[in-house]
A and B are shown apart, each in its own frame.
Chain A
């Protein structure tokens, strides 16, 4: 490593960041592909079908054949669309999901390096900033299509995502009141050990107090709305909008919307694991302290990915179990139920901290 130490700090930083960004992006995209397969398999199991099983054993090559198919299909651009936005929208859908991952600590340490791409002090605000940009991809897709149903999908998406962003933002404030830090690495660090009131449970935020459990419940519901998943998939409700904002898209452009949804699910899962389920920690065998060995570091990354996979299964499970909300019910739930509850939760948490101090 002598040559590495001779480089100036800026070059070192750029090289190290690239060494983290490239594998993370690769793993994320691979995870996207296999979440699609998991979705199809789990859906099939729940509906007593077999699911994709032709490509390789248990259909494990299915994502590859899907990707090849998407690339070779005709990339049709209808005459009436607004061309620039029509091209931009699919790309914009993918970007926020990839950017969100940058601040999430996906492991403790490998050697001297902290396993997080950008260890920001305002980590969670950055995440919410990026998440709030996610709506542009869908809105622009609806606008670019220049026809009725996609447009309605886009309008629905913007109203829904703005509404639930507020409930989502409010729901995590109790977490930061109790942890006392916005930095996600320190949020994970504060979840080591076992919880005080029942020492067999891990000291994960969600188990620490009823207020934080409520925070998680609100965050989970808002995450379903933000990723446009059932029971809140109104922007692409097939039965009402014939497909919603992505009707006019075909081939790889459609695939990008599809992948964007799954990348957003993974980002939301990673966020929930970090905030509420202890990130890379596990209160067994001393796994809740930063790793000192290479194997320990890899194990921590494995634990984090494992927790994310569990959250993804919940996302998929809910999709095939629940009917869709009506639009007024969706707005009622967001503004009249979840927002007041989240606000009350902040006040109760603050009062409790004040009494305890």
Chain B
């Protein structure tokens, strides 16, 4: 049962991820954004199969529910026609191909070093309570640094979007 769901979600993640960047039927950025949403939701499904319920819920809540809605908001307000007409650059295509080959080689090397086991997948996280305890004790410093990073980004956005007072 779990194996069926794993292959289902994994296939959905890969297929939707591919359609985000290279959709043969449509070059519309909104379509790409919607496939990215589907990719994120399928990833959340994979998290659920690892019993990482908190991570799955937050993945959907933050990425699919907030970040992608803002993406969509911006894409819709931009000029879509220009993006649809844009042609591929040969150098960029070659660079992308090279990146794919390198990542495939790395993955191959990793799997050869430590072969995939046959054991059941590990339970990635426990209760939300245990996760919260870890975040606020052992990983407090990285957690706080991340919040400061987000604050910096927020201040930067406000500064950039502020109209010059004359």
Contact = CB atoms under 8 A, between A and B. Distances in A.
A85 B64 CA distance: 18
Interface in A101-137: 120-122, 125-126, 128-133, 135-136
A159 B30 contact: no
A126 B57 contact: yes
Interface of A: 10, 85, 120-122, 125-126, 128-133, 135-136, 139-140, 143, 151, 154-155, 158-159, 161-162, 165, 182
Contact of B61 (A128, A154, A158): A128
Interface stretch (B71-79, B100-108, B112-120, B142-150): B71-79
A172 to B, nearest CB: 13
Nearest to B30: A143
A182 B73 CA distance: 31
B67 to A, nearest CB: 10
B141 interface: no
Contacts of B58: 125, 129
Contacts of B53: 120-122, 126
Contact of A133 (B1, B65, B72, B128): B65
Nearest to B54: A122
Contact of B73 (A85, A122, A159): A159
B57 A129 contact: yes
A125 B48 CA distance: 13
A121 B127 contact: yes
A120 B65 CA distance: 20
A10 B30 contact: no
A193 B44 CA distance: 38
Interface string B44-62: 1000000001100110110
B69 A158 contact: yes
5 contacts: A121-B127, A121-B128, A135-B69, A139-B76, A155-B76
B60 A132 contact: yes
Given A129-B57, A133-B60, A165 B73 contact: no
Contacts of A154: 76
Given A129-B60, A143-B30, A162 B76 contact: no
Given A121-B127, A126-B57, A143-B30, A165 B77 contact: no
Given A121-B53, A162-B69, A129 B61 contact: yes
- 6 closest pairs, A vs B, by CB? A132-B65, A125-B57, A129-B60, A129-B61, A122-B53, A129-B57
Contacts of A140: 34
A296 B65 CA distance: 39
Contacts of B73: 139, 155, 158-159
Q: Most chain-A Cβ atoms within 10 A of its Cβ — which of B30, B61, B128?
A: B61
Contact of A132 (B44, B64, B127): B64
